[in-house]
Chain A
Amino acid sequence: MTSAAAEGVAKTTATPSAPRGRKSVTGTRRTVAALFLLPALVLLGALVVYPIGYSIVRSLYDSSGDHFAGFDNYKALFTDDGIRTALKNNIIWVVFAPAVATALGLVFAVLTERVRWGTAFKLVVFMPMAISMLAAGIIFRLVYDQDPGKGVANAVWVGIHDTFAQSSAFPKAHPGRNSPLRADHGGFLTTSPVHTGQSVALPLVGVAPDQMPHSAKKAVQATSEPGKITGTTWQDFTRGKGVGRLGAVDPSELGYSGMRIEAVKDGKVVATAKAADDGTFTLPAKADGALLRLPAGNFKEPYNGVDWLGPSLVTPAIIGAYVWMWAGFAMVLIAAGLAGVPRELLEAARVDGANEWQVFRRVTVPLLAPVLAVVAVTLMINVLKIFDLVFIIAPGSSQDDANVLALELYRKGFSEGRPGVASAIAVFLLLLVIPVMLFNMRRLRREVRR
């Protein structure tokens, strides 16, 4: 809205400069000129000037619109926590989004100039621009989905992670009621030491039958052997019946096939064993008097990926979506600028012995600087009013952390029913855009003069 307004202003200031050249012309011409300008002026007045003026007036009244509130709404603007976060996030947006999009655009533009399929590549990079912000938001909401089965970002991340660190077979296993085990550093430890000739029971619950290892067989109570410690570790839970006989093996209960067991004496592991398919294990005599531990490695939770839309990463994640959309726009403008760069200069630099990096750094980029500035500034204006992506991508729980001014304006105006504060935010946004706007206009005028 505000940028459209400013563009409107740019047009009006540009048009009167033309008739001023023919000052000698009679008054009738002047009325004709006014007549021709009238429709544009009326439209601009009704659609741009009036709303801005009314917003300013409205921002000075309280939420019902009946009482003059002075600058109270502006005071609220700088004391409200929500607006402060929004302001902070807007700064992050304005600094990073245009910079990253422009940099990527520059890289794409320079590289595509050199590849054979450059145009096709450019087309692909530009494609996201053809998608509405809303659709892009919905796409990225899915991309960043927490569930690796749905969100591409986490699917890739978890895929990479799991190649290096495998998850375990019994992630949710835990001791049931009156268990001889207690939690210890993510694993479980027996409460009392074990002795030779004893048959130890290590029951746990919480592993669904469908998630047991395929090799698991029906659990068997281990027979005690002299000089050795034997035992069983199994799922002490019968589907549909509950625990059954507490701490004892029931007929259809499955053994924890492959569970690792450590015998610990004074904090040192003296012996280890691995449970057989029926959950039985045997430890040598030197484990006598030790505590048995089911180490944490057995129970490692499957890695769930990164919390992309959690409070800390949500803003960078949404900026990523924005860059995905707008890098193509930057690329096309920069590529157009690049086409205007005199080839001789690049050739001359190469003849002088500059390598490609030096040519890029010392010749191409300085020559492109005006274009880069235009692109960055245009994106900045665009970013200041960012709303749709944030509104759609951020889930309700982190919307506050992803808040930006335009979103806060919407929330204050339309869901909290405080149009006064919302108008104050609108005016504040306008003030923020004006310097950037002026900079862009001065640039444009200089270009025209040249």
Chain B
Amino acid sequence: MAAAVAAGALALSLAACGGSGNDKKSGDGHSSGASGGPGGAAVTLPKLDGTTLEVAAVWTGGEQKNFKQVLAEFTKRTGAKVTFVPAQDPIINFLGSKIAGGQPPDVALLPQPGAIKQAVDKKWAKPLGPEAQAQLAKNYSQGWQDIGKVDGKQYGAYYKAANKSLIWYNAKVFENAGAAEPKTWQDLLSTAQKVYDSGVTPFSVGGADGWTLTDWFENIYLSQAGPDKYDQLAQHKIKWTDPSVKQALTTLAQIWSKKDYIAGGPNGALQTEFPVSVTQTFTGGDQPKAGMVFEGDFAQVNIGETKAKVGTDAKVFPFPAVGSTAPVVSGGDAAVILKDSKAAQALVTFLASSDAATIQAKLGGYLSPNKNVPNSAYPNEVQRKIAQALIASGDNFRFDMSDQAPQAFGGTPGKGEWKDLQDFLKNPSDVAGTQAKLEKDAAAAYGNGS
């Protein structure tokens, strides 16, 4: 108990010191929020005075702080007291121990569709009630509703989304190199060459974290092989030895095989963690370690740690089209009910409403799949651009493939897909060998189920 309190205090203090950059943002968000916020409520909630709820999520720092403001709004409207339970990754195992101990949180935010399915299979998750489903139908595109379903029943409401098809770049570097935002993969290659010719390494790759590498692959694969193949590969219905995988890896090698294109060369990249891969792109004035870094909207948090300003010093363009259309690979957290009650249903209903999403959108660092969140709610131009791209993709977005895969394949440091792509980064000429290894690991992970 004492440890839990201490951990909570630590998380708070972290939030306090990490959030200083966010505070400014949230400051001006507030002023506009006060005028337009509580006026017309888009959702009606029951009175729940005296009830208490627990919500578990893996969020820390500013993200957690902002989410607590959303919870506070819920408390204000209903009278129910909501406690935030900080969880660890992988959250499904965290919940497993909570449930084994007989103390599950009422609602949990699960970061992967695979986790929702696991929670349903283990009979932890309870289906959403009609009010929550009504909100989903009103606010979400079919694609976002469907990934919250298991066997046709709605279990998850996606509260938060991530757009993982973005490339951030140092505006100064592009200006010095005379480069422009590329639209296609060929453009990207020539842009990279221009940046390289100007004396700056084009790409920063956070290869110490395997998931950044899987995201590279997924974007190329989705754009090149198309959504159908993407779904088949995600479910392991086609093998990793498929020619389409070979083509994607070969395309990827056009960048990865040039050791001068990657900050620190492959070996350096393999020891660079994601946060550093971002910060090193935006520090060092005219001579940063790299000109571009690929990753999702959440990279803003790390850019916030540097002196660079998002929108002027740090700009962003969507991942260029490798095939016919540009990919939109997304991630997200879905609210799932673990202890069914009127209050828990009300909370998920609230989270699925545009009211809740708008509150957090104004605070920054957050992206909602909710199409009724006004684009103007986002605090800056970059956020608006990212949100626009996400909503505009309609049902053509695809969820992060490695997040859909079993944990042993798609989510364990030093194992499975993470490790295999790290090896590929080190040795990009070995496409066939990488495919064979991926297939072997995938077969083992998909085979034993959990």
Interface residues of A (CB under 8 A from B): 63-64, 82, 145-146, 172, 174, 176, 205-211, 237, 239-243, 304, 307, 309-310, 395-400, 403, 411, 414-418
Q: Determine if B415 and A417 form an interchain contact, defined as CB atoms under 8 angstroms apart.
A: no
Are B415 and A418 interface neighbours, CB within 8 A? no
- Given A208-B198, A209-B199, A397-B208, is A240 in contact with B270 using a C-beta cutoff of 8 Å? no
Q: Is the CB of B450 within 8 A of A400?
A: no
In order of increasing CB-CB distance, the 6 nearest A-B pairs are A208-B199, A399-B414, A400-B414, A242-B178, A205-B197, A397-B270
Chain A residue numbers with a CB within 8 Å of B177 are: 240, 242
Q: Which residues of B contact A210 (CB under 8 A)?
A: 286-287
Total number of residue pairs linking A and B with CB closer than 8 Å: 115
> When the two chains form their complex, are residues A241 and B178 in contact, meaning their CB atoms are under 8 A apart?
yes
Shortest C-beta distance, A413 to chain B (Å), equals: 9
Residue of A82, A206, A211 ringed by the most chain B CB atoms within 10 A: A206
Given contacts A396-B413, A397-B422, A417-B92, 12 further A-B contacts (CB under 8 A): A63-B449, A172-B196, A174-B260, A206-B198, A209-B199, A310-B270, A396-B210, A396-B422, A403-B414, A411-B413, A417-B90, A418-B448
Which among B93, B194, B207, B448 is the interface contact of A397 at CB below 8 angstroms?
B207
B343: CB under 8 A from chain A? no
Residues of A within 8 A of B450 (CB): 63-64, 417-418
Q: Is the CB of B271 within 8 A of A146?
A: yes
Partner of B271, one of A63, A207, A395, A416: A395
Contact B270 A417 (CB under 8 A): no
Tell yes or no: B126 within 8 A of A by CB: no
Q: Which residues of A lie under 8 Å from residue B286 when comparing CB positions?
A: 208-210
User: In the complex, which residue of chain B has the Cβ closest to the Cβ of A403?
Assistant: B414
Q: Which residue of A lies closest to B444 (CB)?
A: A80
Hey, what's the 0/1 contact readout for B266-281 against A, CB within 8 Å counting as 1?
0110110100000000
Residues on A with C-beta less than 8 A from B228 are none
- Complex Cα distance A398/B175, Å? 37
For residue B210, which residue of chain A has the nearest CB?
A: A396
Taking CB atoms, residues of chain B closer than 8 Å to A241 are 178
The answer to whether A310 touches B413, judged by C-beta atoms less than 8 angstroms apart, is no
CB-defined contacts of B90 to chain A, threshold 8 Å: 414-415, 417
Say which residue of B200, B207, B273, B407 sits within 8 Å of A416 (CB atoms).
B407
0/1 interface trace, chain B 147-183, chain A, CB 8 Å (1 if under)? 0000000000000000000000000000111100000
Q: How far is the CB of A180 from chain B (nearest CB, A)?
A: 16
B412 interface residue, CB < 8 Å from A? yes
Query: Any chain A CB within 8 A of the CB of B327?
Result: no
A172-B411 in contact (CB<8A)? no
Q: What B residues does A205 contact at CB under 8 A?
A: 197-199
Inter-chain CA distance A354–B171, complex, in Å, is 74
- A82 contact from B197, B270, B411, B415, Cβ within 8 A: B415
* Shortest Cβ distance from A412 into B: residue: B408
Q: Inside 8 A of B355's CB, which chain A residues have their CB? A: none
Q: Is B65 located at the chain interface by the 8 A CB criterion?
A: no
Bound CA span A395–B177, Å = 33
Given contacts A208-B198, A411-B415, A417-B407, contact A396 B208 (CB under 8 A): yes
The residue among A207, A211, A397, A418 with the most chain B CB atoms within 10 A of its own CB is A397
Tell me, rounded to whole Å, the shortest Cβ–Cβ distance linking B350 to chain A: 31
A310 to B197, CA, bound (A): 29
A367 to chain B, nearest CB (A): 46
Question: What mask results when residues 194 to 224 of chain B are scored 1 for a CB within 8 Å of chain A, else 0?
Answer: 1011111100000111100000000000000
Contacts of B418 in A (CB 8 A): 396
Given known A-B contacts A210-B286, A309-B271, A396 and B209 have beta carbons under 8 A apart: yes
B362 at the interface (CB under 8 A from A): no
B264 within 8 A of A: yes
Q: Which residue of A lies closest to B448 (CB)?
A: A63
Q: Is residue B419 within 8 Å, beta carbon to beta carbon, of the partner chain?
A: yes
The distance from the CB of A378 to the nearest CB of chain B, in whole angstroms, is 29
Complex CA gap A79/B448 in Å reads: 15
Could you say which of B175, B408, B413, B418 has the most chain A C-beta atoms within 10 Å of its C-beta? Answer: B413
